[in-house]
Amino acid sequence: MKKLFLIIGAPGSGKTTDAELIAQKHDSITHYSTGDMFRAEIASGSQRGALIDSFVSKGNLVPIEIAIETIVTAIKNAPSDVVIIDGYPRSAEQMNALDTYLKEEPEVSLVNVIEVTVSKEVACQRVLGRAADADVARDDDNVEIFNNRMKLYTDPLLVIQEFYTSKDLLTQFNGERTIEVIVNEMDAFIQSKI
Ligand code: AMP
């Protein structure tokens, strides 16, 4: 039985860093970031990567078929029973697609959906700060694309929050604290659930 945790959060919320640090502490946890998986596919130079790039470079969502297939493959191939995926779902449609998959897949159980909350101002400062640092800058870290990514994150958020709250699966973490504090708290929470 695979135990799945999802992490959602605005661009710049720190969701990928948090999940990465937690997975590093435990051999029993595997972490995947949808954004990282898409960037790896783009970097591979494949045709699928080129298609994905046409969405990611504008800050748009990649098509749902690609998004759901990417996470289902990651969950199936994960070498551990506990899997953290950050960056999914990003729309009501993606949430429903995962829900359908989970209903038909008794070997995967969604344990919790963690939302890392940050204000739009903090998110913007962090992303534009990253844009100014050549070592970590991403092609989609600029103000116009940030605004588009933020809007796409915010638009379906209420529906996603309500859906997982109704299942008693949503937990919010204040993402404006130091990485260490957030990671320790989130790690303890995940450990308490597995
Ligand atoms: P992130 O690294 O989470 O900021 O994601 C970078 C980009 O990857 C996003 O702006 C989207 O273009 C794409 N992406 C990441 N996750 C998803 C998803 N669940 N569905 C569709 N596109 C996604």
CB of 62 within 6 A of ligand 1: the answer is yes
Average per-residue pLDDT in the chain?
95
On whether the CB atoms of residues 12 and 118 are closer than 8 A, the answer is yes
For the chain, the straight-line distance linking the first and the last C-alpha, in angstroms and rounded, comes to 11
Helical H segments across 120-193, by residue range: 120-131, 143-154, 157-166, 179-193
Residue nearest to atom 1 of ligand 1 (CA): 35
Residues 63-93: pLDDT tens digits?
Answer: 999 999 999 999 999 999 999 999 999 999 9
Q: What is the mean pLDDT of residues 41-65?
A: 96
CB of 146 within 6 A of ligand 1: the answer is no
Which pair of tokens denotes residue 120? 């739009």
Task: List, in sequence order, every residue forming a beta bridge with 32; answer none if it has no partner.
Answer: 85
CB of 90 within 6 A of ligand 1: the answer is yes
Which ligand 1 atom minimizes the distance to the CA of 149? Answer: 10
pTM: 0.95
